[in-house]
Amino acid sequence: MKRILIVPPSAPHDCSPELPLSKSIANRQLCIRHLSGSKLPVSIPGSQDCLTMDSLLRLLSLDPQAPVYDCGDAGTVFRFLTAVLAITEGRRTLTGSARMQQRPCGPLVEALQHLGAEINYSGKPGFPPLEITGKPLRGGTVEIEASVSSQFISALMMVAPLMPLGLQIKLTGNPVSAPYIAMTAGLMREQGIEVTEAPDLIVVNPGNYQFHPETAESDWSAASYWFACAALKKDAVITLRGLKESSLQGDSRLVQIFSHLGVNTFREGETLVLNQNGKADAQIGVDFTPFPDLFPAVAVTCAGLGLKARFTGLKTLTIKESNRIESVGTELRKLGFSAGMKADGSFAIEPGRQVTSGVVVHPWNDHRIAMAFAMLSVVCGQMTLDDPGVVSKSYPGFWDELERAGFLLTADREDSF
Q: What is the CATH number of the domain that holds 253?
A: 3.65.10.10
**The domain boundary residue, chosen from 154, 172, 204:** 204
| 79 and 147 together in one domain | yes
DSSP state string for 172-214: ES---SHHHHHHHHHHHHHTT--EEEETTEEEE----------
| 250 and 390 together in one domain | yes
- 200, part of any domain: yes
293 is catalytic: yes
| 392 and 260 together in one domain | yes
| 176 and 222 together in one domain | no
Q: CA triplet 398, 404, 407: central angle to 5 degrees?
A: 85
- 211, part of any domain: no
| 127 and 241 together in one domain | no
| 98 and 122 together in one domain | yes
Average pLDDT, rounded, for the chain: 94
| 14 and 34 together in one domain | no
| 224 and 97 together in one domain | no
**The domain boundary residue, chosen from 204, 236, 255:** 204
| 295 and 189 together in one domain | no
Q: Using one digit for the tens of pLDDT, what is the confidence trace for 342-394?
A: 999 999 999 999 988 889 999 999 999 999 999 999 999 999 999 999 999 99
| 379 and 399 together in one domain | yes
Tell me if the pTM is above 0.75. Answer: yes
How large a percentage of the chain has pLDDT more than 70? 98
Question: Across residues 231-235, what is the average pLDDT?
Answer: 93
| 320 and 223 together in one domain | yes
Q: Using one digit for the tens of pLDDT, what is the confidence trace for 166-207?
A: 999 999 998 889 999 999 999 999 999 999 999 899 999 999
- 290, part of any domain: yes
Judged against a pLDDT cut of 90, whether residue 209 lies above it is answered with: yes
Judged against a pLDDT cut of 50, whether residue 415 lies above it is answered with: no
Amino acid symbol at 260: H
- Phi/psi for 191 (5° steps) reads -100, 20
Instruction: Give the total number of structural domains in the chain.
Output: 2
Distance CA 139, CA 25 (A): 25
- Phi/psi for 179 (5° steps) reads -60, -25
**Those residues with Cβ within 8 angstroms of residue 405's Cβ, 6 or more apart along the chain or in another chain:** 9, 13, 15, 17, 229, 238
- 210, part of any domain: no
- 212, part of any domain: no
Q: Which residues form the domain of 309?
A: 3-21+217-411
| 306 and 354 together in one domain | yes
Catalytic residue among 219, 251, 293, 366: 293
Q: How confident is the model at residue 5 (pLDDT cuts 50, 70, 90)?
A: very high
